[in-house]
Structure 1
Amino acid sequence: MSDNILLEVCVDSPRGLAAAISGGADRIELCAALETGGLTPSPGLMALAARAPIPVYAMIRSRSGDFVYDEADMAALLADVDAVRAAGLAGVVLGANRPDGSLDRAALSQLVAHSSGLGMTLHRAFDLAGPDFAAAIDLAVELGFERILTSGGETTALKGLAALAACFAHAGDRIAIMPGSGVNIETLGAIRARLPFREIHSSCSTASDVTNSKALELGFVAARPKRTDATIVRGLKAALAR
């Protein structure tokens, strides 16, 4: 299982993008505002990422909050897909739920059709569809997603190992299951001992101190913002190769 495991790193800034690439990431999930779980990146960041030497998939999520979308939300999401295509990125990261947490077939079908020709990841809206994830996996396969990013419905992949193992068993070779959330050097051993993953997702980030106290006071930055660290990317890649 040690051969050719792909590391996807999520980033939300030019600095993070550069750090992920220099550290040896295999693919980028490009976002804005990772502290809210990731939003659609700006056109400027997409344009910068289009020059990356590795595939870049952009988050399609126009607002924070849940993944229950009305007609206006859908219009924004479809326009975001258009922006990704115009930038020349490799793919999109999609998700939509019904109020009961199940995946929204109608919304996802529309998003998938609009994303034709782009790679597609189903994001952690999937985690709201549990605890029985079988139907959600079947829908993702039917719609043509390449992979599902999931923590097994828990706050971290480590806590969701039992559900993740069931997801791998149900998915088989029909779709990739990509563990994510809380994936780092410390948790990798326990995750790989339980799951036959071929792709894994991490922020590879470290918390940093705020240098401008006024910016913190005015609410422009988080108290302990996280930044992608090339050394952490490099270390995780090396651990995956062992």
Structure 2
Amino acid sequence: MPTLEICCYDIESAITAQDGGADRIELCSGRYDGGVTPSYGALIKAHKFISVPVHPIVRPRGGDFYYSQSEIATMKSDISLIKELGFKGIVLGALETDGSIDILIMRKLLALTSDLSVTFHRAFDMCRDPFTALKQLADLGIDRILTSGQQSTAEQGLPLIIELNEKTTGPRIMAGCGINSNNIKTFLDAGIKDIHSSAGKYQPSYMQYHNPNVSMSQNTQQNEYLNYQVDPDIVVAMKEQIRYTNNTLFIG
């Protein structure tokens, strides 16, 4: 049966996603950075309150995926902590400057994961050659690859996602970026069995006073008085689509 992974940037969203039927949660912080390693406090709470599998992302910063030695050392420490806390999976990735998979660094990081399930995140979408990357990640023993098909949205990248799904000899291909209850059927009908979504919407901040002269962000497009949270109705609707598709295929 297809699985639904929900990307969550706070514990409240993770609980909402779980209650809505999510099969797995990718736990991050830093939405405007594209997802970075969650805090120790968030990890503790996730392990305590979330019963579905939680896979924290290990990413020391936003931006590109070529990391310095100090950043790699940080990633190693984060992996050790995540494993020590008892999580069952992890999300990571590293690239060379030429856009290829950093095999050496990946081996060093994977050596610390032991029995953890490993997802290679959307660093894959920044690779120069997705098919070479697919083979390399299969050789490394990666369990799944999150990808938008190297396009701005997974809908735009669907042809490549389908081709990768047909060619994979190891990692499961998980489609993500812009997938919601309105278009999930397109991916299910295409045979994609792993779906990743943030399944959310912006909610107004509880702050009543807004200082128009000060911003805490360098991103001038960011409204600091809107908070992005998982929408339970979207999660439920997506899960229903998965159940319907699975039942139809089974009956057929």
Normalization by structure 2: what TM-score?
0.89
The equivalent residue for 2:234 is 232
Are the counterparts in 2 of residues 62 and 80 from structure 1 also a CA contact under 8 Å? Answer: no
RMSD: 1.7
- Shift of the alpha carbon at 1:211? 3.6
The equivalent residue for 1:120 is 118
Equivalent-residue separation in structure 1 for 2:127 and 2:227 (angstroms): 30
Give SS of 1:50's match.
Answer: helix
Equivalent-residue separation in structure 2 for 1:6 and 1:74 (angstroms): 31
Q: Report whether the alignment pairs 1:168 with 2:165.
A: yes
Structure 2 alignment gaps of length 5 or more:
245-252
- Shift of the alpha carbon at 1:192? 2.6
Are the counterparts in 1 of residues 188 and 242 from structure 2 also a CA contact under 8 Å? Answer: no
Q: 1:139 aligns with which of 128, 136, 140?
A: 136
Q: Residues 97-117 of structure 1: CA distance to partner in whole angstroms, max 9, x if unpaired?
A: 111211111111111111112
Counterpart residue identity of residue 214, structure 1: H
Larger radius of gyration: 2
Equivalent-residue separation in structure 2 for 1:39 and 1:6 (angstroms): 23
Give SS of 1:60's match.
Answer: coil
The equivalent residue for 1:187 is 183
Q: Report whether the alignment pairs 1:109 with 2:85.
A: no
Q: Residues 162-220 of structure 1: CA distance to partner in whole angstroms, max 9, x if unpaired?
A: 11111112104x22000000000122132233x31221100010122234253784326
Are the counterparts in 2 of residues 11 and 34 from structure 1 also a CA contact under 8 Å? Answer: no
Q: Give the number of aligned pairs.
A: 236
Structure 1 alignment gaps of length 5 or more:
none
Counterpart residue identity of residue 43, structure 1: Y
Q: Report whether the alignment pairs 1:156 with 2:158.
A: no
- Shift of the alpha carbon at 1:225? 3.0
Counterpart residue identity of residue 193, structure 2: R
Are the counterparts in 1 of residues 90 and 118 from structure 2 also a CA contact under 8 Å? Answer: yes
- Shift of the alpha carbon at 1:27? 0.5
Are the counterparts in 2 of residues 46 and 89 from structure 1 also a CA contact under 8 Å? Answer: no
Equivalent-residue separation in structure 2 for 1:200 and 1:215 (angstroms): 40
The equivalent residue for 1:34 is 31
Are the counterparts in 2 of residues 126 and 136 from structure 1 also a CA contact under 8 Å? Answer: yes
The equivalent residue for 1:202 is 197
Identity %: 33
Q: 2:98 aligns with which of 97, 100, 116?
A: 100
Q: 1:177 aligns with which of 163, 173, 179?
A: 173
Equivalent-residue separation in structure 1 for 2:238 and 2:216 (angstroms): 32
Counterpart residue identity of residue 188, structure 1: I
The equivalent residue for 1:60 is 58
Are the counterparts in 2 of residues 43 and 87 from structure 1 also a CA contact under 8 Å? Answer: no
Equivalent-residue separation in structure 2 for 1:114 and 1:101 (angstroms): 24
The equivalent residue for 2:249 is none
Q: Residues 52-99 of structure 1: CA distance to partner in whole angstroms, max 9, x if unpaired?
A: 211110100011111101111100110110111122111110100111
Normalization by structure 1: what TM-score?
0.92
